Amino acid sequence: MADVQTSLYQVIQSLLESKKYSTLRDMLSTLNPVDIAAVFQDLPELSLPLLFRLLPKELAADAFVEMDEDAQELLIKGFSDRELKDVVNELYVDDAVDLVEEMPASVVKRILQQTSPDMRKMINEILKYPEDSAGSIMTIEYVSLRPKMTVDEALQRIRRTGVDKETIYTCYVTSEDRRLLGIVTAKSLLLTPGDARIEDIMEDNVISVNTFTDQEQVALMFNKYGFLALPVVDQEDRLVGIVTVDDAIDVMTEETTEDIEKMAAIVPSDKPYLKTGIFATYRQRIPWLLILMISATFTGLIIQSFESALAVVPALIAFIPMLMDSGGNSGSQASVTVIRGLSLNEIEFSDLPRVLWKEFRVAILCSATLVAANFVKLLLIDRVSLQVDLVVCLTLFCVIIIAKLVGCSLPMFAKKLKLDPAVMASPFITTIVDALALLTYFAIAATIIGL
């Protein structure tokens, strides 16, 4: 909860207690709907319907959209049919779809009953696209123009129909059969003489996405091109909707959180941390903990099989954590860098040789530095024998190189195999590198000390 919200919360609480409803109404009307939603969610459930009814109609609908699903459900259950109708008919189609997707079936039934037939048709249209596709996040409320219109006619059309459109700043020029011919920005409409024809001023090399394009790719296109909206076409190249930049930003944040969670061995969830119940959080975390615990058993087995050797030179045991951790950290650095590059489309599978060659050289530099520091420390501070020092340093050298190469290549192979590269991050890499580090350690020890 941010500071501003905390103080707002207190003001609203005290106005509510002293029943100063008209002051409350005036104050709420000056707020941004996002802030209203944030504060309302934190207030006692009982006061929510009362406060909501104080809001002017349009602001109420805008704030409603921004609330979390628990608050929305609570409000809808308290609404009369009339109130529900008012809110639902103020929604943009994409927000209505989100609502329908999140509410339990009984609530959805009531919502759809209060929705105009047109709106219901549009909602069903969008609901049929797969989750996380461009189709599922688009809106179908855009401004369409015809190529033969003049700029004045286009502006008139915007004035007539614009109020219900999610954006009027990019207009879409379509043919009779809804094929996308070009786009015209509101800026060029405003800066061009009124008698110019749309077909003469439109941009006709339009970048669009398909209804089935993954939402992550859609978000990346906004990132790359700096668009305010992106048209979505169907398999026959007909315009079916648009994605606006605010929705693309939501997707970006959501997908990045998902990546970060996967990198930390967490099964992603789309709820904020503090809103997730402890069983849900447990279910997000336990699968990878179990898998990784069992994998770590192999590392234990390796140690076990060298127990007798360790008994001969017990000094070797003390360096196991350092070797495993340094390997794990080196591998994580490489894997996380590559995973981020892959998800920003900066790296592709065809770059593998370049990446391996680069990581190899970086690994040589890193391991040389670490080995130098370690060699001196082992001799002067730990005062181990030169033989042990050599074993540890040589192992460290090899482990860093192995870790970097494994770390950078596994995410790329995962991508190639259409698996999620983000899973190949620290925890997974660490487990593999641990085992490799120990095998290397004992092999080198056997050679040099002759165990």
How far is the C-alpha of 319 from the C-alpha of 298, rounded, in Å? Answer: 19
The correct pick among 265, 393, 394, 401 for binding its own copies (CB under 8 A) is 265
Query: Could you give the 3-state DSSP secondary structure of residue 258?
Result: helix
The correct pick among 195, 307, 380, 418 for binding its own copies (CB under 8 A) is 307
- Residues 97 to 116: which contact its own copies by CB under 8 A? none
From the list 52-60, 86-94, 153-161, 410-418, the region that binds its own copies by CB under 8 A is 153-161
Tell me 197's DSSP state. B
Q: Is residue 290 a contact point for its own copies (CB under 8 A)?
A: yes
Report residue 110 as tokens: 């009531």
The correct pick among 286, 312, 376, 446 for binding its own copies (CB under 8 A) is 286
From the list 105-113, 125-133, 173-181, 317-325, the region that binds its own copies by CB under 8 A is 317-325
The correct pick among 213, 374, 395, 440 for binding its own copies (CB under 8 A) is 374
Using an 8 Å Cβ cutoff, are 198 and 173 in contact? Answer: yes
Per-residue binding string, its own copies, 220-259, x by CB under 8 A, is --xxxxx-x----------------xx--xx-xx--xx-x
The candidate with the shortest Cα–Cα distance to 203, out of 219, 215, 187, is 187
How far is the C-alpha of 123 from the C-alpha of 86, rounded, in Å? Answer: 17
Query: Could you give the 3-state DSSP secondary structure of residue 2?
Result: coil
The correct pick among 77, 282, 376, 446 for binding its own copies (CB under 8 A) is 282
Q: Is residue 439 a contact point for its own copies (CB under 8 A)?
A: no
How far is the C-alpha of 152 from the C-alpha of 192, rounded, in Å? Answer: 10
From the list 130-138, 231-239, 422-430, 443-451, the region that binds its own copies by CB under 8 A is 422-430
Query: Could you give the 3-state DSSP secondary structure of residue 46?
Result: coil
Q: Is residue 158 a contact point for its own copies (CB under 8 A)?
A: yes
Report residue 367 as tokens: 């391991």
Q: Is residue 353 a contact point for its own copies (CB under 8 A)?
A: no
Q: How far is the CB of 120 from its own copies (least distance, A)?
A: 25
Report residue 49 as tokens: 């319907």
Cβ proximity to its own copies: between 148 and 224 the closer is 224
Q: How far is the CB of 88 from its own copies (least distance, A)?
A: 20
Give Cα separations from 31 to 25, 89, 206 (angstroms).
Answer: 10, 22, 38
Query: Could you tell me which residues are beta bridge partners of residue 242?
Result: 139, 231
The correct pick among 11, 127, 301, 312 for binding its own copies (CB under 8 A) is 301
Query: Could you give the 3-state DSSP secondary structure of residue 369?
Result: helix
The candidate with the shortest Cα–Cα distance to 203, out of 254, 145, 159, 156, is 145
Helices vs. strands in the chain: H and E counts, helices first = 22, 6
Query: Could you tell me which residues are beta bridge partners of residue 145?
Result: 173
The correct pick among 311, 386, 419, 446 for binding its own copies (CB under 8 A) is 311
The correct pick among 44, 117, 321, 353 for binding its own copies (CB under 8 A) is 321
The candidate with the shortest Cα–Cα distance to 384, out of 395, 375, 394, is 375
- Residues 183 to 222: which contact its own copies by CB under 8 A? 186-187, 190-191, 205, 207, 222
Other beta carbons less than 10 A from residue 264's beta carbon:
13
Q: Is residue 345 a contact point for its own copies (CB under 8 A)?
A: yes
From the list 92-100, 123-131, 145-153, 297-305, the region that binds its own copies by CB under 8 A is 297-305
How far is the C-alpha of 221 from the C-alpha of 156, rounded, in Å? Answer: 31
Q: How far is the CB of 249 from its own copies (least distance, A)?
A: 6
Cβ proximity to its own copies: between 31 and 451 the closer is 31
* Count of residues that interact with its own copies, criterion CB under 8 A: 114
